[in-house]
Amino acid sequence: MDQRTKINSRKREPLSPGRIVQAAFEVIGAEGLAEFSTRKLAQRLGCEAMSVYHHFPSKAHLMDALVDSAVASLRPIPPDFDFIAGQRFAAFEYRAMGLRFPAFFPFLSVHRMNTPKALAWLNAMIGAYRKAGFSDRDAAHYFRQFGYYIIGAVLDETAGYARGPSTAAPVPFEVMKRDFPNVLSAGPHFAKGEWRRIFELGLEMELEGLTSALAAARS
């Protein structure tokens, strides 16, 4: 199917919030978050920009819908999991979600998470800490601290090393070998094939801390 046929096919499909959100993820994935616009989204959908605004009154409303859609893809913690197993499950779910929407994740990572579906997820997550035995204050603090690690790790995987070198003039190999040998030796172990292992190492360290904190809270 050529591009013209695809556009004509899209024009025949009824516009809906779900279809707009899916197309928005596609545009962001193809062109990047900075280049995303309602005009480009409308072009992909084969419609006028005003048709998009009929469903979402502003770009901000659309971005909130993207947040809700991404968060809604997170599977809930199985009810038979204990607290630590549940947090491990939630961490891997969050990482998987970030990797499903890598171009969008930098926006999601700093969003206040106050959309309806995001609030439902937050409510369940914080509730798990309270149910486990943490005070309201400690539940908030430990959840937030745990989130710092998870978000930072996923952000680095999606918008850090995933982008490749960011320096305009990379340091020549011979200079690296002479002046920065430790960085050079670590380089292969920062490669994409190592990311999951690095994530797991950090996660288990976080969970060890949570286990100790939970024991203290229950004593």
Spatial CA neighbour of 59 closest among 38, 45, 44, 43: 38
CA pair distance 162, 199, nearest whole angstrom? 15
Instruction: Give 1's contacts (C-beta < 8 A, 6+ positions apart).
Output: 9
Per-residue tokens: 89? 């499950």
* pTM score over 0.75: yes
Instruction: Give 58-112 pLDDT, tens digit per residue.
Output: 999 999 999 999 999 999 999 999 999 999 999 999 999 999 999 999 999 999 8
